[in-house]
Amino acid sequence: MQFKSFITKTILFILLILPVGCATHQVRPYISDKPDIDLRKVRTLSFTKVKDTIRTEKSGITTLKAKADIIITNPEINGEFKCKGIVRYQKPGKIRVIGSKLAMTAFDMLSDGENYWFYLPKERVVYTGKCDTIKGTDTNAYIFPDDIAALLEHDKLFEGRYAYMETWPTFWLVHVLDQFGNRVAPYARLMVNRVESTVTELTMFKPDSFIRAQASFNDYTETNGQSVPESIQIHWPDTDTTLSLNLNNIIINEPLKPEIFHFKKPKKADIIETN
């Protein structure tokens, strides 16, 4: 009975959002907005095949390390902050991004899969919290490392959840739904290119259906038989912050030292909880 009830609510949820959309959803372009797409190369796949493609796209990547050109935009920053950096990623949920400018560390963000830290040496402050939890809005934290890791692990999006797909002329739009008690709400939305079958956009939602974070993936390249995006842009609407990572010198599936994902409290830095 609970399963039937969930299915009924899911269908009602879909019927309600399809005609009018949702306040947290952006309007997508029609084919006329994509004149450079060769329709002869557009593929026709079933929903099951598209879902399998999403699950397996990055499943062969267990670790990644790369150098990066980094750009951060935020209302508190005068214009853009640009720097060089390094990226280290390991499944599940571990990521570290260190940005440097003028031979000094500008920031150090880290998630070990359970907790995250965002260290700003100049401000002498570390923002920290539990991964995959609701963040408070009463701090000055504007980037959340656990969201970065979550946006890279597409195979986990469908675990214990239901989904449906819209077919557009040049892309598939896959909606992932979650259940919170008796309520059905959006969990994630993926845009998949119908020519290359790559995920180009991913939006993740909070339990209240407002957007948690959005990511775009561009300039895919083949590395050791795996398709890897060289350009990743992540936006947090709550803090109006955008993090752009343009990767180079990419190496995948090479063992990483465990200490990379261990946080050491800096001297003379305040620790602020963000959950």
Distance CA 249, CA 254 (A): 13
User: What pLDDT digit, counting tens, does each position of 66-104 carry?
Assistant: 999 999 999 888 789 999 999 999 999 999 999 999 889
Average pLDDT on 52-57 reads 86
Helix (H) / strand (E) containing 18? helix 2-20
pLDDT of residue 31: 38
DSSP 263: -
Distance CA 75, CA 131 (A): 25
In DSSP terms, 248 is beta-bridged to: 67
Cα first-last separation, the chain: 36
Paired tokens of 62: 């267990």
What is the torsion angle, in degrees rounded to the nearest 10, for the CA atoms of residue 52, residue 55, residue 59 and residue 63? 160
pLDDT band at 38 (very low <50, low <70, confident <90, very high): confident
In DSSP terms, 84 is beta-bridged to: 69, 100
Sorted by where each starts, the structural domains of the chain and their CATH numbers stand as 47-273 (2.50.20.10)
Paired tokens of 129: 């919290």
Segments of the chain assigned E as strands: 63-73, 80-90, 94-101, 104-112, 115-120, 125-130, 162-167, 171-180, 183-193, 199-205, 211-223, 226-236, 241-252, 270-273
User: What pLDDT digit, counting tens, does each position of 181-205 carry?
Assistant: 888 999 999 999 999 999 999 999 9
Query: Is the pLDDT reported for residue 250 higher than 50?
Result: yes
Q: Identify whether the C-beta of residue 267 lies closer than 8 Å to the C-beta of residue 101.
A: no
Quick check: pTM over 0.85?
A: no
Average pLDDT, the chain: 85
Distance CA 159, CA 196 (A): 24
pLDDT of residue 213: 94
Q: Identify whether the C-beta of residue 61 lies closer than 8 Å to the C-beta of residue 222.
A: no
Average pLDDT on 106-114 reads 94
Paired tokens of 116: 């995250």
User: What pLDDT digit, counting tens, does each position of 155-177 carry?
Assistant: 889 999 999 999 999 999 999 99
